[in-house]
């Protein structure tokens, strides 16, 4: 299913797509943003036919040109339609240099992700390295590209300072309850996520009307949201370490301690853990928090 949402008086168009697969209990969306000739991300492989229709619609409005598509990171739900943009519409694809090798290869992933995002991602040739600054088609907007590693090493965010917008894709999640890890090709790192959010928070210090555009989780208003996420992660970090210290006093079995820490801090493991064979789990978050040394 597709939804088109307009933001900021129609200056930003969000295209949201979720699979209609009946195995998915509730629609799980991915977002593409379009702003003055610039596309941010390219949807999921399973959504390419709907994405093509969206691009044709946009092109009609834009007199036939889209300047470029910025891929925020190389996960299949963000770059699945990049080959289509390139082959059918001749739109340049830009990404962080760490994403290029990944994008240029055909890419398959486990079944639970195929159900959500479609079977496999096709390769994209001649991906260009992102500039530090990208101006929009009519030069109305200037985007600064900043690295936000943690969710993915190649993750970037786009900041438009004058308009006070930041597009973070998956660099920030609405709530920290689980993390990719285990045997997955996606390895998230909570300390890097924290550092990236902190850098963004400091970088946007004088933007008091900041709007944060996320993928699938809508728009967050105000940079206080960034502070809330920092506080949330910091509190989890402390709790997990304290719980570990407490349990380690009367337990030597590491697995047992980890399970107790998870129970103390988060209550229980997420249902997604089994569906994803441990790729996405609360335990991954616990482990990443523990690996991150506690200062002070
Ligand atoms: Zn992602």
Q: How far is the CA of 294 from the centre of ligand 1 (A)?
A: 27
Q: How far is the CA of 171 from the centre of ligand 1 (A)?
A: 8
Q: How far is the CA of 186 from the centre of ligand 1 (A)?
A: 8
What is the pLDDT confidence band of residue 75, given thresholds at 50, 70 and 90?
A: very high
53 and 153 share one domain: yes
CA distances from 251 to 211, 283, 292 (A): 46, 18, 21
215 occurs within a structural domain: no
pLDDT(71) > 70: yes
What is the pLDDT confidence band of residue 26, given thresholds at 50, 70 and 90?
A: confident
86 occurs within a structural domain: yes
What percent of the chain has a predicted confidence (pLDDT) above 90?
Answer: 91
83 and 192 share one domain: no
89 and 230 share one domain: no
Closest of 133, 178, 142, 138 to residue 162, by C-alpha: 142
Helices (H), the chain: 48-61, 76-79, 82-89, 97-103, 111-117, 190-203, 224-249, 254-266, 272-275, 282-291
What is the pLDDT confidence band of residue 217, given thresholds at 50, 70 and 90?
A: confident
Q: How far is the CA of 151 from the centre of ligand 1 (A)?
A: 7
23 and 141 share one domain: yes
122 and 187 share one domain: no
Residues 6+ apart with CB under 8 A from 143: 38, 70, 133, 134, 135, 136, 158, 159, 160
Domain hosting residue 16, numbered range: 2-171
249 and 131 share one domain: no
Beta 211-214 vs 12-17: how paired, if at all? Answer: unpaired
Q: How far is the CA of 213 from the centre of ligand 1 (A)?
A: 14
Q: What is the mean pLDDT of residues 194-220?
A: 95
211 occurs within a structural domain: no
Using DSSP's 3-state secondary structure scheme, residue 59 falls into helix
| DSSP state, residue 107 | B
146 and 244 share one domain: no
Q: How far is the CA of 170 from the centre of ligand 1 (A)?
A: 5
165 and 20 share one domain: yes
> For residue 24, what pLDDT is reported?
78
pLDDT(199) > 90: yes
184 and 153 share one domain: no
Q: How far is the CA of 73 from the centre of ligand 1 (A)?
A: 7
> For residue 96, what pLDDT is reported?
97
In sequence order, the β-bridge partners of residue 32 are 15
pLDDT(176) > 70: yes
Domain final residue pick, 171, 190, 214: 171
Q: How many domains does the chain have?
A: 2
Q: How far is the CA of 16 from the centre of ligand 1 (A)?
A: 15
218 occurs within a structural domain: no
For residue 149, the domain's CATH number is: 3.60.15.10
Write down the mean pLDDT value for the chain. 95
> For residue 296, what pLDDT is reported?
64
Residues 6+ apart with CB under 8 A from 180: 151, 186, 187, 188, 279, 280, 284
Using DSSP's 3-state secondary structure scheme, residue 57 falls into helix
216 occurs within a structural domain: no
Tokens 């208003």 belong to residue? 221
137 and 202 share one domain: no
What is the pLDDT confidence band of residue 237, given thresholds at 50, 70 and 90?
A: very high
- Write out the two tokens for 81: 């339609």
102 and 197 share one domain: no
């Amino acid at each position: 299913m597709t939804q088109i949402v307009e933001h900021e008086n129609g200056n930003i168009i969000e295209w949201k797509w979720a699979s209609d697969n009946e195995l998915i209990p509730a629609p799980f969306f991915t977002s593409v943003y379009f702003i003055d000739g610039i596309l941010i991300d390219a949807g999921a492989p399973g959504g390419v036919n709907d994405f093509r229709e969206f691009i044709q619609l946009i092109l009609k409005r834009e007199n036939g040109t889209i300047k470029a598509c910025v891929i925020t990171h190389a996960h299949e739900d963000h770059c699945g339609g990049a080959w289509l943009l390139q082959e059918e519409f001749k739109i340049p694809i830009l990404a962080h240099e760490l994403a290029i090798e990944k994008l240029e290869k055909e890419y398959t992933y486990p079944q639970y992700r195929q159900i959500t995002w479609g079977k496999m991602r096709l390769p994209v040739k001649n991906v260009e390295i992102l500039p530090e600054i990208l101006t929009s088609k009519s030069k109305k907007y200037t985007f600064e590209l900043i690295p936000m590693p943690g969710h993915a090493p190649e993750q970037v965010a786009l900041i438009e300072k004058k308009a006070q917008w930041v597009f973070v894709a998956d660099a920030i999640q609405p709530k920290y309850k689980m993390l990719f890890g285990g045997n997955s090709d996606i390895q998230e790192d909570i300390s890097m996520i924290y550092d990236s959010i902190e850098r963004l928070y400091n970088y946007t210090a004088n933007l008091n009307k900041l709007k944060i555009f996320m993928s699938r989780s809508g728009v967050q208003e105000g940079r206080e949201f960034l502070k809330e996420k920092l506080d949330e992660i910091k509190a989890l970090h402390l709790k997990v370490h304290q719980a570990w210290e407490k349990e380690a006093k009367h337990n030597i079995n590491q697995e047992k301690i980890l399970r107790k820490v998870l129970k103390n801090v988060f209550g229980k493991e997420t249902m997604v853990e089994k569906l994803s064979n441990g790729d996405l789990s609360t335990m991954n978050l616990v482990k990443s928090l523990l690996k991150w040394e506690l200062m002070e």
